[in-house]
């Protein structure tokens, strides 16, 4: 035949030949709804007429994207480190200069441009250890158990990677909350580990229930080897803050069942509700004494992306490991070294977050005022969100005790559910897509986080500026009412 030898040349890498684990990964927070939001923004810029004038991205916990201003002191120190000529400028406070000089001294070649050691700059690991000690009422933290990371995401992926082993019925299973932050499901898919779901209790403000943990674990033991338990506290997307007794019960359970604990505590500074308080797993575990304090393995994660600073773009974070086997810790160190080092500017910001200006420092007053203003506004927005949603028929919203999200439950009429199914969409995806097209409000459907069968939710951040938030919540409620009428 006259067929050219090349005309049929297939690609090496296709959907059929690529890594099947990667294919199974899903990541709703940046999924189809966000891609559509980007398109709509572009259409608006091109002058296409829409029933709204701007897209509001309430899909991701990105405070500065929503207009929150960076904390001045953090940026001053970082600017000084980036461009040390500024150390001669009279426009920078003395304490910022001192901090910058101290950090530069600890950098290779006294420059942010050198690779740091893979576990992060030793001085900053020490700063983190002091922070943890202060946070936990004096319980010691060892800098050598602290690894700085490229955002918390990177550290979570690293710890999960260490835990994954086995095949078939011995494959590593990892318990994760439902609803969850979808980094967990994505990482487990990528690593070919088994995702074991435990459900948070919506009726009790998304509390964690050890009986439910036990149910999930027992069922999972039939088909995999559950070896780790992930907790997100304060919760994303659920906004709950765990009570100390609950944490104790979880630790006892993990110890008895021999589960490695992963505590995602990136929202530790984001607690708003009256009566709620953040308790770190490390502190509770230590205060429970032996054998928990001396044997229970724990990894706790923190980040510069959340809290009052919201410095997501810098990709700073850390993990503290507790009771990790020494040989495994060496393996972790080795694994980290392959990626060379976490971004040094993110390390610098982390250092500021864990050792902010002291009351005697010239920058203290302004720093404190900026920090408090952000946290107070977040608390007000958390309250407002709960209140407005709960006034709307067919929407029910648990209190946003902490973190940066509400995760209200919405009633969707059966005909809407049916219509969605015809379109091959999850019903809450259908709702959220329609919401986006008609109002410009971008939220993430509950199906991206997981929810009990037959219930529907969406996640909306509390981050839009106060003056926009109330109209936004009202618009959303009104849209829900209209949507409900349309499909009744």
Residues in touch with ligand PLP (CB under 6 A) = 61, 151-153, 181, 183, 232, 236, 264, 266, 303, 305, 312, 317, 340
What pairing do the DSSP bridges indicate for beta strands 172-178 and 194-199? parallel
Three-state secondary structure call for residue 258: coil
Instruction: Name the nearest CA neighbour of 257 among 162, 156, 173.
Output: 173
Give the footprint of a copy of itself on residues 24-83 (CB under 8 A).
25-27, 29-30, 38, 60, 62-70, 75-76, 78-79, 82-83
Which is closer to ligand PLP, CB of 114 or CB of 369? Answer: 114
Instruction: Name the nearest CA neighbour of 181 among 22, 328, 45, 30.
Output: 30
Which is closer to ligand PLP, CB of 153 or CB of 447? Answer: 153
The contacts of residue 323 (CB under 8 Å, 6+ apart) are 294, 295, 296, 297, 298
Which is closer to a copy of itself, CB of 84 or CB of 394? Answer: 84
Give the footprint of a copy of itself on residues 253-272 (CB under 8 A).
255, 258-260
What sign has the CA pseudo-torsion 219, 221, 224, 228?
A: positive
486 touches which of ligand PLP, a copy of itself, none (CB within 5 to 8 A by kind)? none
Q: What does the angle CA 308 – CA 232 – CA 465 come to, to the nearest 5 degrees?
A: 35
356 touches which of a copy of itself, ligand PLP, none (CB within 5 to 8 A by kind)? none
| Rounded Cα–Cα distance for residues 28 and 446 (Å) | 9
What sign has the CA pseudo-torsion 461, 466, 469, 474?
A: positive
109 touches which of a copy of itself, ligand PLP, none (CB within 5 to 8 A by kind)? a copy of itself
90 contacts a copy of itself (rule: CB under 8 A): no
Give the footprint of a copy of itself on residues 153-172 (CB under 8 A).
153-154, 157, 161-165
List 2, 3, 11, 422, residue binding a copy of itself (CB under 8 A): 11
The single residue listed with the structure tokens 């919401």 is 435
Three-state secondary structure call for residue 115: coil
Smallest distance, Å, CB 165 to a copy of itself? Answer: 5
Report the 10 Å Cβ neighbour count for 327.
Answer: 8
List 56, 141, 208, 344, residue binding a copy of itself (CB under 8 A): 344
423 touches which of a copy of itself, ligand PLP, none (CB within 5 to 8 A by kind)? none
303 touches which of ligand PLP, a copy of itself, none (CB within 5 to 8 A by kind)? ligand PLP
| Rounded Cα–Cα distance for residues 108 and 203 (Å) | 53
Which is closer to ligand PLP, CB of 333 or CB of 366? Answer: 333
Q: Which stretch binds a copy of itself (CB under 8 A): 276-284, 322-330, 446-454, 472-480?
A: 322-330
List the beta strands (DSSP E) in 254-306. 260-264, 298-303
372 touches which of a copy of itself, ligand PLP, none (CB within 5 to 8 A by kind)? none
Instruction: Name the nearest CA neighbour of 285 among 476, 105, 438, 139.
Output: 139
What sign has the CA pseudo-torsion 51, 55, 61, 65?
A: negative
98 contacts a copy of itself (rule: CB under 8 A): no
Instruction: Name the nearest CA neighbour of 148 among 357, 321, 404, 295.
Output: 321
List 227, 282, 283, 302, residue binding a copy of itself (CB under 8 A): 227
9 contacts a copy of itself (rule: CB under 8 A): yes
Smallest distance, Å, CB 212 to a copy of itself? Answer: 21
Show the site string, 121-150: x = touches a copy of itself by CB under 8 A, - = not.
-----------------------------x
List the beta strands (DSSP E) in 353-434. 395-396, 405-406, 409-410
281 touches which of ligand PLP, a copy of itself, none (CB within 5 to 8 A by kind)? none
Smallest distance, Å, CB 298 to a copy of itself? Answer: 11
- Looking at the DSSP bridge assignments, the partners of residue 174 are 195, 228
Smallest distance, Å, CB 120 to ligand PLP? Answer: 14
First to last CA, the chain: 62
Give the dihedral of Cα atoms 107, 109, 110, 111; nearest 10 deg: -80
Q: Which two tokens stand for residue 475?
A: 């618009």
232 touches which of ligand PLP, a copy of itself, none (CB within 5 to 8 A by kind)? ligand PLP
482 contacts a copy of itself (rule: CB under 8 A): no
């Amino acid at each position: 035949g006259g067929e050219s030898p090349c005309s049929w040349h297939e690609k090496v890498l296709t959907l059929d030949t690529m890594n099947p684990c990667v294919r199974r990964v899903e990541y709703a927070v940046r999924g189809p709804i966000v891609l559509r939001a980007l398109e709509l923004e572009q259409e608006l810029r091109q002058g296409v007429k829409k029933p709204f004038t701007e897209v509001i991205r309430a899909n991701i916990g990105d405070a500065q994207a929503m207009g929150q201003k960076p904390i001045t002191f953090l940026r001053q120190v970082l600017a000084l480190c980036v461009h040390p000529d500024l150390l001669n400028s009279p426009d920078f406070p003395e304490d910022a200069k001192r901090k910058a000089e101290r950090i530069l001294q600890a950098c290779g070649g006294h420059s942010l441009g050198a690779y740091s050691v893979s576990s992060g700059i030793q001085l900053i690991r020490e700063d983190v250890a002091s922070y943890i000690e202060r946070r936990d009422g004096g319980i010691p933290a060892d800098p050598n158990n602290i690894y700085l990371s490229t955002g918390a995401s990177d550290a979570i992926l690293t710890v999960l990677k260490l835990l994954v082993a086995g095949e078939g019925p011995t494959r590593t299973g990892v318990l994760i909350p439902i609803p969850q932050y979808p980094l967990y499901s994505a990482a487990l898919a990528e690593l070919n580990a088994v995702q074991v779901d435990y459900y948070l209790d919506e009726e009790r403000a998304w509390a964690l229930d050890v009986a439910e943990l036990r149910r999930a674990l027992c069922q999972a033991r039939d088909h995999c080897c559950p070896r780790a338990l992930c907790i997100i506290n304060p919760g994303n997307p659920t906004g709950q803050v765990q009570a100390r007794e609950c944490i104790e019960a979880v630790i006892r359970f993990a110890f008895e069942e021999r589960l490695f604990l992963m505590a995602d505590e990136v929202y530790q500074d984001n607690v708003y509700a009256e009566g709620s308080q953040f308790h770190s797993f490390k502190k509770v575990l230590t205060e429970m004494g032996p054998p928990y304090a001396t044997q229970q393995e724990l990894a706790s994660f923190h980040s510069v992306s959340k809290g009052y600073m919201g410095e997501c773009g810098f990709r700073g974070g850390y993990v503290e490991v507790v009771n990790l086997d020494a040989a495994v810790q060496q393996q972790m160190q080795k694994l980290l070294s392959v990626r060379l080092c976490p971004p040094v500017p993110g390390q610098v910001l982390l250092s500021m977050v864990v050792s902010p200006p002291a009351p005697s420092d010239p920058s203290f007053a302004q720093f404190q005022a900026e920090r408090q203003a952000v946290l107070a506004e977040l608390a007000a927005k958390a309250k407002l969100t709960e209140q407005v949603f709960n006034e709307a028929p067919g929407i029910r919203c648990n209190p946003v005790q902490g973190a940066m999200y509400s995760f209200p439950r919405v009633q969707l009429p059966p005909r809407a559910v049916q219509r969605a199914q015809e379109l091959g969409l999850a019903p809450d995806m259908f709702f959220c897509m329609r919401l986006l097209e008609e109002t410009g409000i971008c939220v993430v459907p509950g199906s991206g986080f997981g929810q009990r069968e037959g219930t529907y939710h969406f996640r909306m951040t509390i981050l839009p500026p106060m003056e926009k938030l109330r109209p936004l919540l009202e618009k959303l409620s009104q849209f829900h009412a209209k949507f409900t009428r349309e499909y009744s």
